[in-house]
Homo-oligomer: A and B are copies of this chain.
């Protein structure tokens, strides 16, 4: 949690900007806001609630949940520290946001957020870039849901989690699952049983090794990557130029 602060100088008329004469970022917009905690399972807001605030995740993990009329549950995404939440356009939230873990976040009035971003030439491109990244990962998820097998889906998720925690540990990639099997299933469009079976299968084949129920060592990163079926993988430098434009397919 790098919330450099110190503070003293009198706030300008746009008080949000008080802090960031140094390096304005989407993050710093929130740095003056009080930290609020939500315990595991708690909802930050519900689908249909008036969208009054924008949130920044400081610590913990959130899930974005949608529920169909008959109870089918879908998790459209997870949010990690540094992510921003609640920037939908309409009057109301289109989804429910719940704490997977114990979560700490800061909130900012939506219009204040908007204005602040809109008025800052530094922030605007950051914001657009962030939206585009969200869009890209949404597309990626559509690919997964539309055409990937159960095993590919699970491997893709593990790989994503591995990539996320990469940077910290280099040698033996150990990944920690923040979420339950049910969350994984609802994110991957599967059932808990299928997720469980797939994980044991991967374990039996030596691709991964469970440290605990919520932590795995990736024994064969390359295998995991190829099982994820993304034609890139742990390293996508390998194919770079070699890839032609269209995929070949025999069959």
Contacts from A to B (Cβ < 8 Å): 46-49, 64, 66-74, 76, 87-90, 92, 94-95, 114, 118, 121, 124-125, 127-129, 131-136, 138-139, 141-143, 145-148, 186, 188-189, 229-231, 243-251
Contact B189 A76 (CB under 8 A): no
Given contacts A124-B124, A134-B135, contact A143 B246 (CB under 8 A): no
Set of chain B residues within 8 Å of A147, measured between Cβ atoms: 68, 72-74, 189
Tell me the smallest distance from the CB of A60 to a CB of chain B, in Å: 22
Residues of B within 8 A of A249 (CB): 70-71, 94
Question: How far apart are the CA atoms of A141 and B139 in the complex, in Å?
Answer: 10
Having A47-B246, A48-B243, A131-B135, one finds 17 other A-B pairs with CB under 8 Å, namely: A47-B245, A67-B246, A68-B148, A68-B229, A69-B230, A69-B246, A69-B247, A70-B229, A87-B132, A88-B135, A94-B136, A128-B131, A135-B135, A138-B138, A138-B142, A141-B142, A145-B145
Q: How far is the CB of A123 from chain B (nearest CB, A)?
A: 11
Q: Are A143 and B245 in touch, CB under 8 angstroms?
A: no
In the assembled complex, the Cα of A47 lies from the Cα of B64 at a distance in Å of 28
Q: How many of these chains are in the complex? A: 2
In the bound complex, how far is the Cα of B135 from the Cα of A76, in angstroms? 11
CA distance A147 to B248 in the complex (A): 28
| Those 10 A-B pairs whose CB atoms lie nearest each other, nearest first | A71-B249, A69-B231, A146-B189, A89-B132, A145-B145, A48-B245, A138-B138, A72-B147, A67-B247, A74-B146
- Residues of B close to A121: CB separation below 8 A: 118
Determine the residue in chain B with the shortest Cβ distance to A244.
Answer: B48
A142 to chain B, nearest CB (A): 5
Query: Closest chain B residue to A121 by CB distance?
Result: B118
Closest partner residue, chain B, to A145 (CB atom)? B145
Contacts of A136 in B (CB 8 A): 88-90, 94
A74 and B249 alpha carbons, distance in the complex (Å): 14
B68 touches A128 (CB 8 A): no
- Minimal beta-carbon separation of A56 from chain B (angstroms): 18
